[in-house]
């Protein structure tokens, strides 16, 4: 009987051998922790659909930021949960609005020890829950929204953000923000472009986390899940407009898009393991159906393997302490 000369199993024989030949690594620096801060909160508020995740107070946010930095995470992405909403999302540009106050708090606490990022979108701040301002027919007004995004990005950088993250999928958002930041003298501030943000069923827990006011859907401006080539058109536009990092959201159901974007991009690529993806794993693990810790690492490694240089995940601090 002839035996094979090449035996791939030789490279699986011990943990040390497997570590030596691993093609994809996962390190704390690859991870970004999304964080929610609730205006007026006096203690952290648990989010039922996201076990282990909370709406922070200003104090608990600072403490959690320090813990994340000590674990070595690559960055923090902040989202605000305001007490009041209005048609134009005015709290988003208010220097004393919840998100801008939180950015000042976190930057004062951690300085340049990690990358402080801000969600640059209006959906948390509007009374209709859409990512932009509406016209007289109730449709999102793309160009009017760009003007607000530009002001919002400047306010966020002046509050302490190293990087702003326009996530509203408005046409021209990266260019409008880059122009505004440069005009304000913030030429070193980066833009993480939500290049391919799909309209997805996996955002439900996030909407609970930010107490979204949305009725209806965002299908007229978020991307159709059937399309990949469209993502590459969005990528080309974002790169032309000056994006420093580009992102695909969600991650796990769109790994082919992550791969396609990574192959075409000449800037770092991020992917967002969103709230619904987090909730699925936590729920299955709570029922004893999967091994929680292994499943978390497996999914994060898969996102990295698909081509993501950066992964936004609610497990960032926990995973970073285990790597």
**Catalytic residue list:** 197, 249
DSSP label at 247?
Answer: E
How far is Cα 74 from Cα 96, in angstroms, rounded to an integer? 27
Instruction: Evaluate whether 273 touches 254 at the Cβ level (below 8 Å).
Output: no
Local structure of residue 216 (DSSP, 8 states): S
Q: How many whole angstroms separate alpha carbon 184 and alpha carbon 187?
A: 8
Task: Write the DSSP symbol of residue 96.
Answer: T
Task: For the beta carbon of residue 296, count every other beta carbon within 10 angstroms.
Answer: 21
CA dihedral of residues 192, 195, 196, 201 (deg, nearest 10): 40
Question: Rounded to an integer, what distance in angstroms lies between the CA atom of residue 310 and that of residue 247?
Answer: 9
Output the CA–CA distances (angstroms, integers) from residue 131 to 88, 134, 196, 274, in the order listed.
10, 9, 15, 17
Contact in structure between 58 and 99 (CB atoms under 8 Å): no
Start-to-end Cα distance in the chain: 44
Dihedral pair phi/psi, residue 193, rounded to 5°: -85, 125
Residue pair 272/248 in contact by the 8 Å Cβ criterion: yes
User: Please, how many CA atoms are within 13 Å of residue 50, restricted to the half-sphere of its CB?
Assistant: 27
Question: Who's near 259: CB < 8 A, 6+ residues apart?
Answer: 306, 307
């Amino acid at each position: 009987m002839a035996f094979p000369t090449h035996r791939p199993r030789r490279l699986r024989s011990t943990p040390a051998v497997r570590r030596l030949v691993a093609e994809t690594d996962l390190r704390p620096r690859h991870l970004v922790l999304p964080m929610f801060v609730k205006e007026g909160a006096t203690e952290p508020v648990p989010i039922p659909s996201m076990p282990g995740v909370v709406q922070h107070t200003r104090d608990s946010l600072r403490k959690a930021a320090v813990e994340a930095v000590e674990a070595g995470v690559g960055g923090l992405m902040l989202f605000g949960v305001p007490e009041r909403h209005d048609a134009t999302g005015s709290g988003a540009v208010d220097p004393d609005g919840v998100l801008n106050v939180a950015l000042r708090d976190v930057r004062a606490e951690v300085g340049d020890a990690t990358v402080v990022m801000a969600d640059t979108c209006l959906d948390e701040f509007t009374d209709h829950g859409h990512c932009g301002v509406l016209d007289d027919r109730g449709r999102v007004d793309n160009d009017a929204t760009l003007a607000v995004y530009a002001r919002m990005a400047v306010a966020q950088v002046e509050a302490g953000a190293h990087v702003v993250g326009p996530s509203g999928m408005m046409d021209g958002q990266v260019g409008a923000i880059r122009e505004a930041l440069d005009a304000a003298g913030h030429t070193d501030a980066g833009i993480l472009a939500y290049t391919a943000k799909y309209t997805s069923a996996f955002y439900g827990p996030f909407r609970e986390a930010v107490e979204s006011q949305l009725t209806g859907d965002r299908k007229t401006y978020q991307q159709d899940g059937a399309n990949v080539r469209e993502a590459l058109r969005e990528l080309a536009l974002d790169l032309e407009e000056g994006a420093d990092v580009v992102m695909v959201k969600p991650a796990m159901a769109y790994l082919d898009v992550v791969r396609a974007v990574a192959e075409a991009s000449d800037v770092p690529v991020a992917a967002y393991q969103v709230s619904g993806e987090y909730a699925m794993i936590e729920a299955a693990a709570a029922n004893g159906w999967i091994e929680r810790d292994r499943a978390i690492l497996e999914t994060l490694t898969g996102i990295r393997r698909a081509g993501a240089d950066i992964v936004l995940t609610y497990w960032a601090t926990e995973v970073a302490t285990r790597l």
